[in-house]
Structure 1
Amino acid sequence: MDQLGEKEGFKSGFIAVVGQPNVGKSTLINSLIGEKLVITSRKAQTTRNKIQCILTLDDAQLVFIDTPGIHTPKDKMGKHLNRTAYNVLKGIDLILFMVDVNYPPNAADKRIANELEKFDIPILLVLNKVDDMDKSSLGQRIQEYERIIQANDLLTISAKQEINLEELVEMMVDFLSEGPQYYPDEMVTDQIEQFIIAEMIREKILAHTHQEVPHSVAIEIIDFVEREDKELIEIRANIYVERSSQKGIIIGKNGRMLKKIGTQARQDIEDLLGTKVFLDLWVKVEKDWRDEDDALKMLGYKD
């Protein structure tokens, strides 16, 4: 990777955020970066690709890798998500093992902890959602997690309420070694705009559809055209689902659901791009795409 040069005393490193679905990994990264870059949802398994987000300070640069939530896979997509999560750890300088402090460690937490300890990488145990936690039970819960993993340090935080995030940043910097600045000051992600736009569309689908739909959805950006005659970007995207019934749910009665999804996604995209956007969405059925290698590859989920 090209580097911007060494600065005396400057620290840098790559940090993997690992944990089960829904513990707040994406919310944490968005809060730290100050930009909405990583899809967030109450539904599990919303992150499908490792995403590099960059936090540049006066004396350090932290490059975050947001991994898919590690879970028990039910199809080829699920296996790809888990493989992506663990592959991320190669070449990482620091691991944030993130858990929801409101629940005791379960079998999945213990399995993740066992895998993480196989790597010779410092581990920070980050106990999230402390704002929802009964404070009298907090000490016991911390001890329960300390029993399953030999972390180098730990911190309780609230990613949503931004509690103890400054302390977390300081702790992470302490664990990094001196190194180069990999990315320019103003750069907050290495992902192309089209990828982020696809994730914004998918986020709105997750927010407005029920259990049958969310993880059967993939987005493909077909056109991304900057108009020369006006301040406007035209974007056309396909929304892929696995069954006709799911297509009907996303379109909704008289097209109302698709219009709601498109309107809210367009607003986020305009905020991202800083210009007016025309967003044209089409819903298509790609039967059982999560178990089809060709479909996974077409939609960007295969190495």
Structure 2
Amino acid sequence: MRFGTVSIVGRTNVGKSTFLNAVLGEDLAIVSPLPQTTRDTLLGVVTREDAQIAFVDTPGLHEPKSELGRRMNLQALDALRGTDAVLFMTDTDVLLRGSGTKPPEIAAEDRDIVARLPKETPVVLVVNKVDRVKNKPLLLPLLEAWSKLHDFRAIVPTSVLRDDGVDRVLDELVALLPESEPAYAADTLTDRPMQFFVREYVREQILNATRGEVPHAVAVTVDRYEEGRIPRIAATIHVEKPGQRKILVGEGGAMLRRIGTAARKRIEHLVGKHVYLELFVRVTERWKNAPRMLSELGYETTDAPEPEEPRRRARPRRSP
């Protein structure tokens, strides 16, 4: 039996959270087409007959334009410390942008991430979204270019959405893990408390329902989570400008109801019972650049506190 931690790193929108959901068999991490969808690290535990892998999904590394962005990058880089292996994910965008008449060049963002990879930690490279490349022979020069950039233990082309290559990625990672007993019960899915998922699922619906500056201007705090036959939840959506609040509330509160209904269904699927969700919208100016406010909203720069009691599959509970 093998056990170890694997950090999932890469730039934004390459499919890191989609991969985590695929191997967990549960849509735990939020996913959207917008960059910087993932703001926090998320532990996801995969248990097989021969191994248990504690994956750590991380925010996409990017050029930060705010204190929030800087803290997101720090979270991602911090996740590389002390991990048993790294899953570095990229995609085939360079081929889609190129003419196909000259060798592909690795994007500067990807090169920067490779330069930050710990030299003592084995890395598996996953080249995602190969299904979008119609001319498959173009993939070979891309894979060769990657092989010259770093001493990867394996390079695996995948299409996570089509479940193509995912099992091979797991096999390559398991081979890198030390022999050890599992650290989590076999049915453990994550160690995040339920408030974390309430926050994320409300924000996910905002990402799906709004456009422009609004999706990136919001943060969510959970004001109340009362257990019971029907859990009662109250959460506040923070925006930076009154105009953004107006958009989120909508005419006669229609937009806020739409967001709340969709988020409630997401939460109910995870906890396995009905919940009561009440949402509020508040203008919190410049929250993305206020260190104290970011800390209050949960975006810390220091090491994370000790995790809550591990959550079992599809049953996250409220933290004490």
Q: What's the TM-score, normalizing by structure 2?
A: 0.88
Between stretches 143-152 and 252-261, larger displacement belongs to: 143-152
String of CA shifts for 1:200-239, please: whole Å, max 9, x gaps.
Answer: 1111101111121112111111111123xxx311111000
Q: Distance in 2 between matches of 1:149 and 1:253?
A: 53
Between the aligned residues of both structures, percent identity stands at: 37
User: Aligned match of 1:239 in 229, 237, 240?
Assistant: 237
Q: Post-superposition, which runs of at least 4 consecutive aligned residues in structure 1 deviate over 6 A?
A: none
Map of 1:5-154 to 2, 5 A cutoff? 10-103=1-94, 105-116=106-117, 118-134=118-134, 135-154=136-155
Secondary structure in structure 2 of the residue aligned to 1:188: strand
> What is the total number of aligned residue pairs between the two structures?
290
RMSD: 1.1
Partner of 2:156: 155
Asked if structure 2 preserves the Cα contact closer than 8 Å seen for 1:102 and 1:130, the reply is no
Shift of residue 145, structure 1, vs aligned partner: 2.3
Partner of 2:307: none
Asked if structure 2 preserves the Cα contact closer than 8 Å seen for 1:102 and 1:133, the reply is no
Secondary structure in structure 2 of the residue aligned to 1:160: helix
Aligned partner letter, 1:166: D
Shift of residue 268, structure 1, vs aligned partner: 0.8
Aligned partner letter, 2:251: K
Asked if structure 2 preserves the Cα contact closer than 8 Å seen for 1:289 and 1:295, the reply is yes
* Alignment pair present for 1:282 and 2:284: no
Q: Distance in 2 between matches of 1:100 and 1:238?
A: 35
Q: Distance in 2 between matches of 1:242 and 1:202?
A: 15
Partner of 2:313: none
Q: Distance in 2 between matches of 1:49 and 1:19?
A: 14
Between stretches 90-99 and 243-252, larger displacement belongs to: 243-252
Q: Distance in 1 between matches of 2:48 and 2:211?
A: 40
* Alignment pair present for 1:248 and 2:246: yes
Between stretches 270-279 and 160-169, larger displacement belongs to: 160-169
Q: Distance in 1 between matches of 2:61 and 2:153?
A: 21
Aligned partner letter, 1:38: A
Shift of residue 168, structure 1, vs aligned partner: 1.3
* Alignment pair present for 1:206 and 2:207: yes
Shift of residue 136, structure 1, vs aligned partner: 2.7
Secondary structure in structure 1 of the residue aligned to 2:87: strand
Secondary structure in structure 2 of the residue aligned to 1:14: strand
Partner of 2:165: 164
Aligned partner letter, 2:51: A
String of CA shifts for 1:162-187, please: whole Å, max 9, x gaps.
Answer: 11111111111111110121111111
Q: What's the TM-score, normalizing by structure 1?
A: 0.93
Q: Distance in 2 between matches of 1:146 and 1:254?
A: 56
Partner of 1:6: none
